[in-house]
Amino acid sequence: MAILKIARMGHPVLKTPASPVKDPKSPEIKALVADMVETMDDADGTGLAAPQVHVGLRVVVFFVDQARMYDEADPDDEEKLGVPLTVMINPEIEPLSDETEADWEGCLSVPGMSGEVPRFSHIRYRFQGLDGKTHEREARGFHARVVQHECDHLDGILYPQRIVNMDRFGFTDALVQGIRKAPEEDIG
């Protein structure tokens, strides 16, 4: 495994839609995923898309910490336990409601900055795993936000492109002083 270099905003790989993966079970994809997980862990991220490590393929790794889920979830909701490390290959998102929520995001490819981004509050997503099988989940809150953020990377979109009010975008340390608390971690 290796820690990969993370592409930063402005690099062409982040502006280009990623190509579908033809064989999710290939040794090359398994090696890429292992390197992406190590890179995400090293950078203290919650998610990472392959274009962020200079690979133009539709591959995402992410997890959602239990503390993040418990704050948002109904106490009887199983999702309060968090979302374990997930590998998504060729993911697709379907909004299940027109309702959106604005919240703060950071990104490993836009270091030191944060912005308030509207996202669908309830989605269904489908993806292939490393076993080649198709999986489907529903997500709300931060879980839904992470999936949408990472899938945007696969379409050549960075979160600043989704910000509605540019007064709610800036360097995280400066925003802390004037607007809000700093994000606990960058999404990816």
| Tokens 């290939």 -> residue | 26
Residues 43, 53: contact at Cβ < 8 Å? no
Burial class (CB in 10 A: 0-12, 13-18, 19+), 177: exposed
- For residue 105, the 8-state DSSP code is E
The active-site residue, picked from 79, 105, 116, 150, is 150
Contacts of 106 (CB under 8 A, 6+ apart): 113, 114, 172, 183, 185, 186, 187
Residue with tokens 């040794």: 27
Sheet bearing 100-107, strands edge to edge: 100-107, 110-120, 169-171
150 counts as catalytic: yes
Round to whole Å and give the CA distance between 104 and 165. Answer: 12
Sheet strand arrangement including 134-140: 47-49, 59-64, 83-95, 122-128, 134-140
Which residue numbers are catalytic?
Answer: 150
